[in-house]
Amino acid sequence: MYTNLPTTEISEMNEKPLSIASLLMALSGGAVDVQAQTCTPTPVTPYIYSDGAWNMTATAAINIGNRIGLGPQPVNGGSWSWSGCGTAGSSREQFVSPGASCTATAVHTNGCGAQTTQSFAITAYPNYNTNPIPPNASGMHSNAVQLAAKIRLGTNIGNTMEAWGCNTPSETCWGNPVVSAAYLKLVKDSGFDAIRIPVSWDQYADQVTGKINDAWLNRVKQVVQQAVDNGLYVIVNIHWDGGWLERNINEASKVAVNAKQKAYWEQIATHLRDFDEHVLFASANEPEARTAEEIAVLDSFHQTFVNAVRSTGGRNAHRVLVIQAPLTDIDRAFNDWHAMPSDTVAGRQMAEVHYYPWSFTNQPEDADYSQVFCYWGNGHHSTTDTYRNSTREEEAYTDAQFAKMKEKFADQGIPVVLGEFAAVLRPETVCTDMPMHRASRAYYAQHVAKSALAHGMLPFYWEIGMNPGLLFDRGTPAVGDPQIYDGLLAGAGKAIALSTAPNSWTLSGGASNTSSASNMALTLTQAGATAGYTFANPVDWHRATLKVVLRFDETFVSNRRGGIDPILQFYTYRSNWAASQFKCWTADKVLVPNQDTEFTCSAFNMPKALGVGIQFAGTAGSVTIQRASIRFAR
């Protein structure tokens, strides 16, 4: 009876009963082989509940003993079965307290029998506060304010203990030598009171258990011990460390980061617990928190740090702890950061910020928003390379920024660690007036250190031990950039940096002024020619050291047979020449034309000296006063 119908219509009519039959069989549970071909598994979305919130994730880290919820979706339809991590039964939501790292597996079976498997990887860090001891106040007498008064100048062991991302982790993998006791002695002998040790820990830890390698814990302790043995105060932190804390400041990562923070600081604090107040701990480095929500998460990380350190007891119950502002940025600290962590002991916390006015200190190349600045501060702008003179963020700006920290923290009894500041040494292809660029960097270091101390902040220069223009050559070890060094000492009130700008010295006795654009220069015409400098305030010379760096021309050198003949002596005097001293006659010092030569004198003992001078022997030659400073005794 279908012979007159088109072929396509016959086909459609034949299919309809088959489709209905298949549907009926599926609903009745029959025809399993047909149903398996047409049933699609239901997608599963993983969720984990911790610290009062559900987060869409299949991984989590907690501390053993903490409770965590597993709640995959869909919420309705199908059935669930569980295994692993203490899960049981058929409830979609499982709340467990794993005793070790584990994997929980959920299987969702939908209405037509298709299954979807979802795994949850749970890292459960053990309790590493395994031997807490009673509080011990011996050697911990100073609160934060009293301790801050003992630190006028610090530096960093940068790019070393925190070196990260190498195939084989080590303190040398970024090119620095192993930290030596000789280098730490040099730091102390050079007039520094403290050293900040940035440290990486995560790459030395088991990522399942959170256990830090004992050899690394011991190595950090050895460096800390060497610093303390040399009389330095020490800040030990968790630095960038791959960003596990610094770049994960959000609700989704909050529980996992807090778990790791607790595990690591329990181990670090326990291992370093016996050190006295010379050792301080710092929670982080430059945590990337910008919004109010992120800052609240960061606050939880800092609270975990404080709780973990205090829980270990002993001297850690009284140790001064350093808490980092969001991004260690001064404006964010002043405007957006509203609470230090709660603590079991009062007055034992410091805040931390860093200071890098970008275009002068770190900007890598010219950009739309600004050119690179090479010359910073009053009296330190170039007259030949004016395009690169700083036009903002100089002394007045620095002072105003630091005043914010004084108002918000120092005046409230919370000292502020200025944990990093420095200015990169740029090449001559960028900064064509290199003498002025170098002088600007030194002046920046001097002014920042001085202003920081005036505003209740503790200056720690950022130093990485390599490349030209950096503070210390750690391999020798020796001071690497005397100009920066002199500036830092002067800023900290440990030295006086005498101005070597043109016309800052008074000439007499046959010396004429031939100053360059950046330094005092003089030409000698007769024996006994002098260059004298008047102090802004009288100087007590007791145990102080005068250092003068001079550069001689070929005429000066040849007229003294390369330095074999007498060269110079220093003098100082009281007001109206009521008393004077002539000291440190210098001869037999090999000279090289147009090369810096350093002379020092520690023989003066005159109180209330009004000025100092250099008296030259011989009759001809030109001299440039490159640098001059007076370092006070420790």
Residues known to be catalytic: 286, 420
**Contact at 8 Å (CB) between 116 and 105?**
no
572-604 CB burial, b ≥16 within 10 A, e <16 = bbbeeeeeebebbebeeeebeeeeebebebeeb
How far from 295 is each of 242, 304, 330, 340, CA to CA, in Å? 20, 14, 14, 12
Q: Whole-angstrom Cα distance, residue 438 to residue 418?
A: 22
Neighbours of 293 (CB within 10 A): 12
Which residues are within 8 A (CB) of 15 and not within 5 positions of it... i.e. 6 or more apart? none
Q: Whole-angstrom Cα distance, residue 48 to residue 104?
A: 12
- Give Rg (Cα) of the chain: 34
Written as six digits, the tokens of 106 are 């959920």
Of the candidates 269, 363, 370, 364, the one whose C-alpha atom is nearest the C-alpha of residue 321 is 269
**Contact at 8 Å (CB) between 55 and 72?**
no
**Contact at 8 Å (CB) between 420 and 356?**
yes
Q: Whole-angstrom Cα distance, residue 452 to residue 156?
A: 16
User: Assign residue 503 a region: left if phi > 0, alpha if psi is -120 to 50, beta otherwise?
Assistant: left
* DSSP conformation class of 187: H
SS3 track for 382-430: CCCCHHHECCCCCHHHHHHHHHHHHHHCHHHCCCEEEEECCCCCCCCCC
- Start-to-end C-alpha separation, the chain: 118
**Contact at 8 Å (CB) between 161 and 241?**
no
How far from 452 is each of 143, 401, 415, 469, CA to CA, in Å? 20, 10, 11, 22
Neighbours of 204 (CB within 10 A): 19
Residues in the chain: 634
Neighbours of 512 (CB within 10 A): 12
Angle of helix 251-271 versus helix 214-229 axis, rounded to 10: 60
Strands 530-539, 596-601: pairing is unpaired
Q: Whole-angstrom Cα distance, residue 300 to residue 294?
A: 10
- Is the four-CA dihedral 159, 129, 262, 331 of positive or negative sign? negative
- Return the ∠ at Cα 289 (arms to 211 and 304), rounded to 5°: 40
